[in-house]
Structure 1
Amino acid sequence: MGLLVLPGGCTAPHMPNLHPTAHETALIPPTLTLDMSDGAHIPLRLYPALTPHPRGIILALHGYGDSRDAWEFAAPTFTAAGFTLAAPDIRGFGQTADRGGWSTTARIVQDAREELLWLHTHYPDIPVHVMGESMGGAIALLLAASDTPDISSTILLAPAALDIGQPWESILGGMDVLAPRWKLDGSAVPGHRVASDNLRALRRMYFDPLTLHSSTIHPLYGLTLLMQAAYKAAPKARMPLLIIFGGRDQFVLPPFTARLLRKLPPETRIDELPGAHHLLSRDRRGAAQDAVSWLMQPERFLPSGGDIAAAAWQATAQTQTFP
């Protein structure tokens, strides 16, 4: 059941209490708090460019169960190249008032639009890009497929843009009616899955006080609707767009990735990292380096060789039955 696999990868993995350090348990205050049009307050963390003048601003949207801290390990690659990351807590996550809850797909996407407007206002004449991981990738894809103006480019990291299909959607919808507060955690998913090869990053994610370690049915059903909306909107995505996915992603499984690639416009730049896992913002396989290279010199081959790997992956996928 792909749906229950996905949230297990976006929340922190089980980890024994191995004497966490002060850094691992640190609650880093937001740089600022944005006021949304409906009165909600969204904490946002800035990772400033290390150059005197940023060459670009990136609205960085995290995955399910994660927070604005998701970009701590990838940020130095972007900031050293002159990009500022603006990382909000998505409504229902991090330090937002309705932490653990869910609003609607429309409201979450509207939040991102208003965050983009704020960035354009405060960084005039600087290109603004959108980057999203997993659930954040679905939001970024919906932005790219909408009439949202002035997005210079979009980067999708292991995007959770998929349709889980029947009967699972109906089952989850029924559970949302009957038991919306029924709690699930990683133990609900059988088997052992690896979210990243970066143990240091996984420890920080696990002990970070902003990380959600469980979920109730209602936000999971909301996530299902968000993923489905992004999947259906994929053919309308505007260019330029880069999608990066890992060959060892055990949460957004290969059949879902293959279906999404077939729906995206043919001009989409495709990057496959054969050894990478789901949490590309934390993995050690070069997703951030590829993203920076593409932003700065989009016509060049990617440093990881992911262009060639993606072509081979697609050729293999064509021979498999992914309806």
Structure 2
Amino acid sequence: MDESTIEFTSRDGIAVHTYRWAPEESPRAVVQVQHGLAEHAARYRRFAEALTDAGYLVYAPDARGSGRTAQGAYGSWGADGWPGWVNDVALLRERISEEHPDLPVVLFGHSMGSFATQHYLLDHSADVDAVVLSGSTEVEWLVPVLDADEPADLSAFNEPFEHRTGFEWLSRDEAEVDAYVADPACGWEAPPLPGIGSLAAAADPDRVAAVRDDLPMLIVSGDADPLAQGGATVELLAQRYRDAGLGDVEVRLYPGGRHELLNETNRDEVTDDILAFLDRVTAGE
């Protein structure tokens, strides 16, 4: 796997640091990765290794306020806040088109990155060839939690689990949890995200109806992920897209899996399932 970096400039002037992981041979398709809240794109290197080994080219930005983009000022959301985060997805997609105009592009969004993906699809579903949502949920219940005047308090997510570090809700793999806790670019207290209330549009059936009905979608979640609420909110999310007319919406719920499936004890199984989906939806491209 060849690693390089690029930058693109957001509409409010943020230089968005982006990893580019390339396979040894000519790529078959592009996977655009959007990470979650209080983490960063470098944590997806292992996933990128599997993708590039299978012939996929990977672009993974450090979202605004995160990773190297933040330059140490974690949670600095910029003037555009949440709408800017969603627009950053579109800007990177445009950059990929400039560099690889003939390759299909699959969006992979985890957690907050999956919410940005849901929001992005309302206006841009024609610009991508398939979508994978990880650690996601239907957002109607979540927006009031995120749209608060106080910093986001995620500690409640750990209530059903042991309290060794407070981040056991992320994974059953203690080594992965410890690596997250030890990483200064992870787990920081997220300040209020201006404009996050606009994410509610992703739960509006009239808006979701604009998503093209031939867009393939895979939703992966652990049934012990607090955001999944036992799988109920994940199934509700999938049904919302099916009700909007999408005919290829697949859900995979992993028993005992927690929030970060790519860092879970069964991560190889999850990765294989994602690769099988990617191979299927890009086979004819």
Q: TM-score, normalized by length of structure 1?
A: 0.70
User: C-alpha deviations, 1:39-61, integer Å up to 9, x for none?
Assistant: 21101112222x31011111100
Match of 2:256 among 267, 271, 275: 275
User: 1:299, 1:275 → 2: CA distance?
Assistant: 30
Q: Shift of the alpha carbon at 1:250?
A: 2.4
Displacement of 1:234: 4.2
C-alpha displacement at 1:295, in angstroms?
A: 1.2
1:242 pairs with 2:215: no
1:291 to 267, 274, 280: 274
Kindly indicate whether residue 93 of structure 2 is the aligned counterpart of residue 111 of structure 1.
no
- Show the counterpart of 2:189: 214
For 1:64 and 1:226, locate their aligned partners in 2 and report how far apart those are by CA, in whole Å.
17
Tell me how far 1:126 sits from its aligned partner.
Answer: 1.5
d(CA) in 2 for partners of 1:210 and 1:124? 33
In structure 2, what is the equivalent of residue 33 of structure 1?
Answer: 7
Shift in Å, 1:115: 0.3
CA contact under 8 A between 2:39 and 2:67: conserved in structure 1?
A: yes
- Equivalent of 1:135 in 89, 109, 112: 112
Matched residue, 1:46: 20
The answer for the alignment partner of 1:198 in structure 2 is: 173
What pairs with 1:1-323 in structure 2 (closer than 5 Å)? 31-49=5-23, 51-97=24-70, 99-102=74-77, 103-147=80-124, 149-164=126-141, 169=144, 176=149, 180=150, 184=153, 186=155, 190-192=159-161, 193-216=168-191, 218-219=192-193, 223=196, 225=197, 227-232=199-204, 233-238=207-212, 239-253=215-229, 254-265=231-242, 266-267=246-247, 268-285=249-266, 286-298=269-281
The AA in structure 2 aligned to 1:197 is R
Percentage identity across paired residues of the two chains: 21
Q: For residues 117 and 30 of structure 2, what CA distance do their matches in structure 1 show?
A: 15
Shift of 1:245: 1.6
Task: Return the offset for 1:227.
Answer: 4.8
CA contact (8 A) 2:31 2:106 kept: yes
**Structure 1, gaps ≥5 residues long:** 1-28, 301-323
Quick one: structure 1 residues 211 and 155, their matched pair in 2 at CA, closer, same or farther if it must change by over 3 Å? Answer: same
Q: Are the aligned partners of 1:133 and 1:280 in contact in 2 as well (CA < 8 Å)?
A: no
Contact persistence 2:83–2:195 (CA under 8 A) = no
Q: Which residue identity does 2:112 align to in structure 1?
A: M
Larger Rg over CA atoms: 1
Q: Shift in Å at residue 127 of structure 1?
A: 1.4
Over residues 113-141 of structure 1, what are the superposed CA-to-partner deviations in whole Å (9 max), with x where a residue is unaligned?
A: 00001111112311111100111111112
Moved over 6 A (4+): none
Q: Work out the CA distance in 1 between the residues paired with 2:279 and 2:173.
A: 26
What do the CA deviations read for 1:55-85 (whole angstroms, capped 9, x no partner)?
1111100011111123123222211101122
> In the aligned structure 2, how far is the partner of 1:270 from the partner of 1:183?
28
- Give the number of equivalent residue pairs: 260
Q: Partners of 1:188 and 1:245 in 2: how far apart?
A: 15
Instruction: Flag the 1:108–1:159 CA change in 2: closer, same or farther, 3 A.
Output: same
Secondary structure, aligned partner of 2:67: coil
Q: Deviations over 1:87-121 (max 9, x none)?
A: 10111222324631334332111111000011111
Stretches of structure 2 lacking an aligned partner (at least 5 in a row): 162-167
Q: Which stretch shows the higher mean deviation, 289-298 or 142-151?
A: 142-151
Deviation at 1:215, TM superposition (A): 2.4
Structure of greater relative contact order (alpha carbons < 8 Å, 6+ residues apart): 1
Task: State how far apart, in whole Å, the 2-side matches of 1:188 and 1:194 are.
Answer: 6
**Superposition RMSD on alpha carbons, in Å?**
3.0
